[in-house]
Structure formats: C-alpha cells, structure tokens
C-alpha cells in the first residue's frame, strides 16, 4: 500500500511559510505528541535557521505519558513543552517561553510577533483560541481547516499568527506516512481507510494490547488472533481478523451477518484519534535508533489544502 497525495502547490506553500517566518520573532513549532518525529517538518530547520524556535508537543493528553517523557528526555536541544492545546492554563507557558526567547522584543512599539506552524490538524488554531479565551480561529476535526495565515493580538505587545497546516511528506518513509494518516493529519482522500485502520489496529494490538481488549471486549479473542496470524504487514489477515472482531463488537454488520469493514475502519480510527481507546503514542524514540539523520529524507512540501 502506498499513501499518495497530490503535491499541487508545494513550492507556493513553502514560499509562504518562508515569508511568514521572515516576519516573525519566534516560531512556535507544533508537533503531535503521539508522533513527535514523524510530525516534525524536516524543512523547518533550514527555513527558521535565523529565528528562535519553540517546539511544543501538542495533543499530549492523547499520547502515552511514559512515551512522552521518553521523547522529552531524548529531544535534541532545548526540551519542548508537552501540552494539550485545549488547556487554557497550561498553554500560557507558550507566550512566556516566547518572551524568554526574544528578550529584545515586547514592550511599547516593539510587538513580539510569534508564528504558529505545524502539520494539518495538530491544534494550531485551537492553541490560539485557548490563549485568547475566545473562539476566534476556526477549528475542525479534519485537516486543512485554516486556509490563510491570520494575525491575532494576544497581549498589547504580543501577536500570534495562525497558519495553514503544511505537510512535508517523506515519500520514502511509509511508516511515518501511516502514522500521520492514522493520527488524522492527512486528508482521507489520500489513502484507503481500511489499510490505515488495519495497520493501526495491528499496532495497537501489539503495543497497547490491554487497552484494545478492554475497549472492545476482546479479552477472549485477542490472544488467539495474534497467535494464529503473522505480524508481517504484507499479510493482511491479522488486520482483517482484528477489524472483524472490532466490527462484530460494535454491531457494524451488513447483509448475511458479515462485518462491514469500511464502517468498522471509520469507527476504529475515530475512537483511536479521540483517545477513547486510551492514551496511545504511535512512535517511541527507540523506534528510530537505527535511523540516519533527517537530511535528504524529506519529500516535497505540500499545503494541507492539497491533501484532501
């Protein structure tokens, strides 16, 4: 299975981000706490070389806390913040850190300009609403909600720019692409929902077996399925059997008592993405120990508006 999306206006997206960064004093980089590495924009380092960057692990409430602690300990450079963008008190730490990163800005006539960047659906607009205490930025539970950069005043001397989500697909990294798709960062038109739900259910069955068994009442079935199927991702039988078990539990049936796999895939991904199966991280630092550094791994940038 290949995850394909449509590289449309990728250079435009990159140019726009570069222009926005050039006008900002501090860049707030949101990555998804459940997949901090795969959701990191590999081009940001070169684009923001001259600006201080504050990295924030967003959606930390959905991630496995032990894994988040491991990411924070392993992070190169300044340790990031790990927060829920829905927590108005916790997010106040972000402008505070920005002020430390740009001590020459702020005060009368020297507005500190911050810019929020990150992949689609990571929580950029939610952060702005939490910081301002108002629903002023449009938020949605699918990618490509924000279409244009927009400025908001946070304090008299601090402004924050929202920006459209931008994805730099690493076309050679299908593992990362699968995690991004499972997390909700990639528009559903770009992949087969059954493939991604199948991958995700196998992942959760392996790494968070108890959470899966408990959520769907699969205590008796799960061991048998895992014992009698292969963990080779090329062999779809484990994914299908797990999805069938989930679908039966949820009553997602079609004619003849067969499980409706499309409906099951949708409901499984929805429950996974909203944290109802449990606090789940899609990657740990030790998943990458054999990896080369990032250089040269990225594919072409695309704007989220092209990924639907």
Ligand X SMILES: Nc1nc2c(ncn2[C@@H]2O[C@H](COP(=O)(O)OP(=O)(O)OP(=O)(O)O)[C@@H](O)[C@H]2O)c(=O)[nH]1
Locate 137 and state its tokens. Answer: 């930025």
Residue 146 binds Mg ion (CB under 5 A): yes
Least distance CB 302 / ligand X (angstroms): 12
Residue among 183 and 264 whose Cβ is closer to Mg ion: 183
Least distance CB 275 / ligand X (angstroms): 6
Residue among 58 and 202 whose Cβ is closer to ligand X: 58
Report which of 237, 99, 232 is spatially closest to residue 158, judged by C-alpha positions: 99
Pattern of binders to Mg ion over 73-112, x per CB under 5 A?
A: ----------------------------------------
Stretch that binds Mg ion, among 23-31, 57-65, 80-88, 123-131 (CB under 5 A): 123-131
Residue among 122 and 243 whose Cβ is closer to ligand X: 122
Residue among 124 and 248 whose Cβ is closer to Mg ion: 124
Report which of 47, 41, 45 is spatially closest to residue 18, judged by C-alpha positions: 47
Residue 125 binds Mg ion (CB under 5 A): yes
Stretch that binds Mg ion, among 2-10, 55-63, 117-125, 210-218 (CB under 5 A): 117-125
Residue 121 binds Mg ion (CB under 5 A): no
Residue 163 binds Mg ion (CB under 5 A): no
Residues that bind ligand X (CB under 6 A): 58-59, 61-62, 84-86, 118, 120-126, 139-141, 143-146, 164-165, 304
Least distance CB 146 / Mg ion (angstroms): 3
Strands (E) in the chain, as ranges, are 26-32, 53-58, 81-82, 112-118, 150-155, 158-162, 166-167, 302-303
Per residue in 111-140, is it b (16+ CB within 10 Å) or e — as a string?
A: bbbbbbbbbbbbbbbbbbbbbeeeeebebe
- DSSP secondary structure letters along 91-150: GGHHHHHHHHH-TTS-STT--EEEEEEESTTSSHHHHHHHHHTS--S---SSS----S-E
**Which one of ligand X, Mg ion, none interacts with residue 187, CB within 5 to 8 A by kind?**
none
Residue among 149 and 253 whose Cβ is closer to Mg ion: 149
What is the three-class DSSP state of 162? strand
Q: Which residue has the tokens 């997206």?
A: 13
**Which one of ligand X, Mg ion, none interacts with residue 301, CB within 5 to 8 A by kind?**
none
Residue among 127 and 204 whose Cβ is closer to Mg ion: 127
Least distance CB 244 / ligand X (angstroms): 29
Burial of 149 (0-12, 13-18, 19+ CB in 10 A): middle
* CB 229, CB 237: distance < 8 Å: yes
CA-to-CA separations, 42 to 94, 119, 214, 255, 298, in angstroms, rounded: 22, 11, 37, 47, 6
**Which one of ligand X, Mg ion, none interacts with residue 86, CB within 5 to 8 A by kind?**
ligand X
Given the rule CB under 5 A, which residues bind Mg ion? 124-125, 145-146
């Amino acid at each position: 299975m290949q995850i394909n999306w449509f590289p449309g206006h990728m250079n435009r997206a990159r140019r726009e981000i570069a222009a926005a960064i050039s006008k900002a004093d501090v860049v707030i980089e949101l990555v998804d706490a459940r997949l901090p590495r795969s959701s990191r924009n590999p081009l940001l380092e070169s684009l923001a070389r001259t600006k201080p960057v504050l990295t924030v692990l967003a959606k930390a409430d959905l991630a496995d806390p032990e894994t988040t602690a491991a990411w924070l300990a392993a992070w190169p450079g300044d340790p990031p913040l790990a927060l829920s963008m829905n927590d108005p008190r916790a997010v106040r730490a972000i402008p505070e850190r920005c002020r430390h990163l740009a001590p020459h800005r702020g005060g009368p006539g020297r507005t500190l300009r911050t810019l929020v960047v990150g992949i689609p659906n990571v929580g950029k607009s939610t952060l702005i609403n939490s910081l301002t205490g108002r629903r002023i930025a449009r938020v949605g539970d699918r990618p490509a909600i924000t279409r244009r950069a927009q400025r908001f005043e946070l304090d008299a001397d601090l402004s924050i720019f929202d920006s459209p989500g931008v994805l730099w697909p690493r076309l050679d990294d299908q593992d990362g692409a699968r995690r991004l798709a499972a997390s909700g960062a990639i528009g559903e038109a770009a992949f087969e929902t059954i493939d991604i739900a199948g991958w995700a259910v196998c992942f959760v069955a392996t790494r968070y077996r108890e959470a899966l068994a408990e959520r769907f009442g699969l205590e008796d079935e799960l061991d048998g399925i895992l014992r009698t199927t292969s963990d080779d991702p090329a062999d779809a039988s484990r994914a299908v059997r797990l999805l069938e078990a989930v679908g039966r539990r949820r009553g997602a049936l079609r004619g003849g008592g067969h499980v409706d796999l499309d409906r099951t895939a949708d409901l499984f991904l929805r429950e996974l993405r909203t944290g109802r199966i449990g606090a789940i991280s899609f990657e740990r630092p030790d998943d990458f120990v054999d990896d080369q550094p990032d250089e040269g791994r990225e594919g072409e940038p695309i704007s989220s508006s092209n990924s639907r």
